[in-house]
Structures are given as structure tokens and as C-alpha cells.
Amino acid sequence: MSTIQDLNQRFAVADKLVFSATESNMPVAQINTRLCRAAITLQGAQVFSWIPAGEQEVIWTSPQAKFAPGKSLRGGVPICWPWFGPHASRKEFPAHGFARTVNWFVKESRLLDDDRVAIVFGLEMNAALREMWPHDCTIEMHITLGKTLELELVTANNGQQSFELGEALHTYFTVGDIRQVQITGLENCVYLDKVDAFVRKQQSDAITIDQEVDRVYIDTESECVIHDAKLKRRIHINKSGSRSTVVWNPWQEKAQAMGDMGESGHISMVCVESANAADNVIHVASGQTHRMVVRYSVQKG
């Protein structure tokens, strides 16, 4: 793994993108421009803060989040890849795949003409990872940070065989009070209700949350909007190359059992995840490249 000095020599952009280390010695990319402030751990290529100019924090990271090598970080934008949820046949493999708990490397960084910062991360498929995922493929995460946050997860199949891919950008959003939030964009969609034995149901109205919610909405590429009455803002989520949207809030009891959600963490977060899961896992043929692109923006009111 590169040292902080090495990262700064090769990829820092003046004082707008610099690399530093957490107390636990994990490298972090810090972005500070006239458009936004943000932070990304190289472990998991995981954005864990994004504050567009004039806004409050958009991404929720638990006050109890553990920045520890090899451990998943509670909050931010965990990358679930190459499967979502438990592995289909090997229960001992990590939930949501391995991409979120291994170190990624920086491939490229750039300051764009309009002052956005673009960073490309790659993941080295070493022998241990190949044991869990024996496919010849390349994965990249392209992150572009400004008044909007754009994330592109690119999977290329370089092998002779096709494979099935499950994935999600498991984004935790900050909300003022989940009991005063509505999520629109999934009306009329079918979802698998994970808190009711995966029974298929249909969403009728906007989503409101006052208990545990864990749903995989399928066959939807719609824009979702998080309407936050307390923070008086709307977070827009636009996507392409993603046919599922997952909505999750563990609510109080499960949050407490998790141990890293903080005192009343479930009140101030909601996950709205752009995914390809369940019915929508992706068949990536030999030589094909699959791209999931997600864009977040914030409006007042």
C-alpha cells in the first residue's frame, strides 16, 4: 500500500485534494474546494463525508463508526460488490461482498475546469479475493465531487466466461428526523420485504418510516427524492445501470444490537441504495463492461 507521502506526491491537487491518515493509520483523501468538502477512505474507496457549499452534511457516518483495517465502516457510501447481502452459497463469505473492507489504490486524480475534483480508484484482485471471486475482471470506482456527487462503479469482464454480479452503493444519508422524511420515486414498484420473509409487495404511496424498513425495490431506474422537512431540503438520487433500489432503516432495537450506530443513530439516517440485487443481478458476458452511475444533488426547501 502507498504511503501518505507517496499518495500526496502522485495524486494531491494543490490544497484541494490532499491525503492524510486516520488515528488507525488508514489513508483518507480530503477534498476541500469552493464547491464542497468531502472525505474518502482508501479502504473500500468509501466516501464518508460530502458537504456541498452552503449545505449541511449529506452523507451520514455514525459517531460510533470504527475506522479499522478490514472492518466495515458504519455509514458513508459502502460499495457492496460482487454480491449483495449474503453470498448465494458460501455463508462464510462476507456479507455484501469484500470490496468495502479491502484497500483500493488511486489510479488517477484531476481537477476539472469547473473546479470539481475527480478521482479514480482501482481494486487489485489478489489471490485471497480470487478464491471468493474466481473471475478475470477489473473494477473501478470513479468519484467526482462538487455541488453534486457522482459515483460510477465500473466492472469489466476480461475473462472467457460470463459471471453474475450483485452490487450496491449502500449510501447512508443524513436526515433531520427520519419521522419527518418522505421518500418519493418508488410508488407502484414491487419490492421484496426483508422484514417479512422476502414477501413481494407493491408500494402505493411515498415511503415514510416509523419502524424497521428493509426493502429491495426491483425493476426500477427511477429518480428517488428524500424530502426532509426538518432540514428543509431535498436530496435527489439519479441513476443509470441500476435496476434495484434498496431502502433501509434498522430502527431502534436492531440499531442498538448493531453496536456501532450511536445512541439514536436510526433517527438521523436513511439508506437509499442504488443497486442490482435479487431479480436484477447483472449477467456480465465475456468482454463486456457494466457501469452503474449514481448522482446525488441537494435542493433547499
Residues that bind ligand TA6 (CB under 6 A): 72, 85, 95-96, 170, 194, 214, 246, 248, 271, 273
Distance from C-alpha of 17 to C-alpha of 116, rounded to nearest angstrom? 10
Position closest to ligand TA6 via CB: 248
Least Å from the CB of residue 55 to ligand TA6:
25
Least Å from the CB of residue 72 to ligand TA6:
5
DSSP code of residue 63? T
CB atoms within 10 A of CB 296: 25
Which of the following is catalytic: 87, 96, 170, 290?
A: 170
Which of the following is catalytic: 140, 152, 167, 273?
A: 273
Residue 253 among the catalytic residues: no
Nearer to ligand TA6, 108 or 253 (CB): 253
Least Å from the CB of residue 189 to ligand TA6:
16
Nearer to ligand TA6, 52 or 185 (CB): 185
Nearer to ligand TA6, 119 or 271 (CB): 271
Residue 124 among the catalytic residues: no
Distance from C-alpha of 78 to C-alpha of 29, rounded to nearest angstrom? 15
Least Å from the CB of residue 215 to ligand TA6:
9
CB 100 within 8 A of CB 80: yes
Nearer to ligand TA6, 65 or 246 (CB): 246
Considering Cα of 128, then 129, then 131, then 132, what sign does the dihedral take? positive
CB atoms within 10 A of CB 204: 8
DSSP 64-106: T----TTS--SBS--EEBS-SSS-SS-TTSPTTBSGGGSB-EE
Return the active site residues: 170, 273
